[in-house]
Amino acid sequence: MIDKFCISTFYNHIFDPTAPTPDDLCMEDIAHALSRICRANGHLRDFYSVARHSLYAAYEAKARGYSVRIRMLALLHDSAESYIGDMTRPLRRYIPEFTDIERQLQTLIFEKFAVSDFTEDEKSAVKMIDDALLYHEFLQFHGIRLFETPPKLLLPVAADKPPEETEAEFLSLYHALYAELTGSCK
């Protein structure tokens, strides 16, 4: 029986979102869930997954000439959402505990699957990409301009693929980046 304060993941891991451990985390669970979670809490004309957004973030980082560390950070920057969902930006300011739980989980994910010592400059580079994607995603999939001046984006945002394809692409890119980052496979 599963504790009422835990979740059971797609790959049958039992996960307590308030007390995660590295053994609870599974990259396949992350890729599976993110490929099925819609950006903007589903308030878009077409389905567009968090995994597709993360892939575009990593591809944009590469197009901008950023390091493999930044590309990995871009790919994994929303991975905590696979376990705890997301909360819209306007609501976050009223529930700071959510941000603390998300930060703790995201740090654990980076420690297990990438590196945990991302610099502020690396995080800032990904934040710029994330905000640029947000603007262009809302423009493409909702017809709304979120900012007065469109942020730079080198690669176009396009429709999502079926979840199974996005999941496989996410895992493939993760493994390629991990091998490049560490010199070994995971």
Residue 36: name the closest of 45, 47, 25, 46 by CA. 47
Domain assignment present for residue 2? The answer is no
Alpha carbons 137 and 122: distance in angstroms, whole number: 22
Residue 148 lies in a domain: yes
Are the C-beta atoms of 106 and 79 separated by less than 8 Å?
yes
Which pLDDT does position 186 carry in this prediction? 63
Full residue range of the structural domain in which residue 81 is found = 7-182
pLDDT digits (tens, 9 = 90+) for 39-53: 988 888 889 999 999
Domain tally for the chain? 1
Domain presence at residue 79: yes
Residues 6+ apart with CB under 8 A from 120: none
pTM, entire model: 0.93
Q: What CATH number does residue 24 fall under?
A: 1.10.3210.10
Q: Give the pLDDT confidence of 70-104 residue by residue, as tens digits.
A: 999 999 999 999 999 888 878 888 998 998 999 99
Query: What is the predicted pLDDT for the residue at 44?
Result: 86
Find residue 29's DSSP bridge partners.
none
- In a domain? residue 127: yes
With helix as H, strand as E and coil as C, how does the chain read?
CCCCCCEECCCCCEECCCCCCHHHCCHHHHHHHHCCCEHHHHCCCCCCEHHHHHHHHHHHHHHCCCCHHHHHHHHHCCCCHHHHCCCCHHHHCCCHHHHHHHHHHHHHHHHHHCCCCCCHHHHHHHHHHHHHHHHHHHHHHHCCCCCCCCCCCCCCCCCCCCHHHHHHHHHHHHHHHHHHHHCCCC
pLDDT at res. 2: 58
For the chain, residues with pLDDT lower than 50 are none
In degrees, rounded to 5, the angle at the alpha carbon of residue 141 between the alpha carbons of residues 103 and 79 is 20
pLDDT at 112: 94
Residue 163 lies in a domain: yes
Q: Does the residue 156 lie in any domain?
A: yes
Q: Is residue 1 part of a domain?
A: no
The residue whose two tokens read 């819209």 is 88
